[in-house]
């Protein structure tokens, strides 16, 4: 299979500023972002437009930065969460467990909190509600859903997943993300050649595409969080509906 690797100077580092024009012209009511904070001018533009802003933190320090700059709602991302870390203040990203992080952010900020990380049933949802979350962000629970973009080989790999196989890695994108440790992760982490985001992401893109075509789970990025015990069948509506029903019975 022929792959077309990108030239380094063809890789665009996207600025969010162009996207703000669309958000404002379309009169979007809510904007949720991750990987950083918006600049003050953008925050003011969006607030004048009546847009509610949701930013992501992975430490108390990041939560304070978001609150002080006027962000309306904070999404607290525990270390359990699947996918990319939203960290934005440190080279060595904070690796704070959800229990510690959520309760300390609750003690430190006044704005409403959404929690992300490890919610997969009524007990986990009610636990983070007790700790102060008012909203609940769910990812991994939906990986096996009908709407999931995963191919069958990826869903099958997730079904066979063992807890020790989940890791944080920069190998696919240049930013830390939580997913399955496979041959690609191990090989890349054994080198000193991980480029910063978004360069590593672009560089590995063609390989990941080829691996998906060939149903090869050893060379794709399979993001997942630490709560893997129940992979639900059905549509997202059914999965979330069942969760809500279970919560309401408690």
CA pseudo-torsion sign 46, 49, 54, 60: positive
Task: Decide: is 55 part of the binding site for ligand FMN (CB under 6 A).
Answer: no
Task: Decide: is 81 part of the binding site for ligand FMN (CB under 6 A).
Answer: yes
Least distance in angstroms from the C-beta of 236 to ligand FMN: 13
- Number of Cβ atoms within 10 Å of the Cβ of 168: 15
Task: Decide: is 243 part of the binding site for ligand FMN (CB under 6 A).
Answer: no
Q: Which one of 20, 23, 31, 34 is in contact with ligand FMN (CB under 6 A)? A: 34
Type and span of the H or E element at 46 = helix 40-48
Residue 98 and residue 79 in contact, taking contact as beta carbons nearer than 8 Å: yes
Candidate ranges 7-15, 65-73, 76-84, 158-166; the one touching ligand FMN (CB under 6 A): 76-84
Least distance in angstroms from the C-beta of 54 to ligand FMN: 10
Of 92-131, binders to ligand FMN (CB under 6 A) are: 116-119
Q: Count CA atoms closer than 13 A to 180's CA, side-chain side.
A: 20
Q: Which residue is nearest to ligand FMN (CB)?
A: 139
Of 125-184, binders to ligand FMN (CB under 6 A) are: 137-141
Buried b (16+ CB within 10 A) or exposed e, 19-54: ebeebbeeeeeebebbebbbeeebbebbeeeebebb
Type and span of the H or E element at 22 = helix 17-25
CB nearer ligand FMN, residue 184 or residue 223: 223
Candidate ranges 66-74, 181-189, 191-199, 221-229; the one touching ligand FMN (CB under 6 A): 221-229
User: Interface residues with ligand FMN (CB under 6 A)?
Assistant: 34, 77, 80-83, 116-119, 137-141, 223-225, 227
């Amino acid at each position: 299979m022929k792959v077309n690797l990108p030239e380094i100077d063809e890789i665009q580092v996207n600025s969010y500023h162009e996207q703000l024009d669309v958000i404002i012209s379309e009169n979007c009511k809510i904007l949720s972002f991750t990987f950083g904070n918006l600049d003050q001018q953008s925050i003011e533009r969006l607030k004048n437009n009546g847009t509610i802003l949701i930013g992501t933190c992975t430490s108390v320090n990041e939560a304070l930065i978001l609150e002080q700059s006027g962000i309306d709602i904070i999404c607290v991302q525990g270390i359990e969460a699947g996918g990319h870390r939203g960290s934005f203040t440190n080279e060595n990203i904070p690796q704070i467990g959800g229990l510690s992080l959520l309760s300390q952010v609750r003690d430190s900020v006044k704005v409403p909190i959404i929690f992300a990380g490890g919610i997969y049933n009524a007990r986990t949802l009610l636990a983070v509600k007790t700790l102060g979350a008012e909203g609940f962000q769910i990812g991994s629970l939906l990986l096996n859903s009908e709407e999931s973009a995963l191919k069958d080989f990826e869903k099958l790999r997730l079904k066979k997943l063992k807890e020790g196989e989940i890791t944080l890695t920069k190998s696919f994108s240049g930013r830390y993300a939580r997913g399955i440790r496979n041959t690609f992760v191990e090989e890349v982490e054994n080198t000193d050649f991980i480029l910063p985001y978004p360069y590593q992401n672009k560089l590995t893109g063609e390989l990941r595409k080829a691996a998906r075509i060939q149903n090869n789970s050893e060379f794709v990025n399979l993001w997942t969080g630490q709560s893997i015990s129940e992979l639900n069948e059905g549509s997202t509506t059914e999965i979330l509906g069942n969760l809500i029903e279970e919560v309401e019975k408690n």
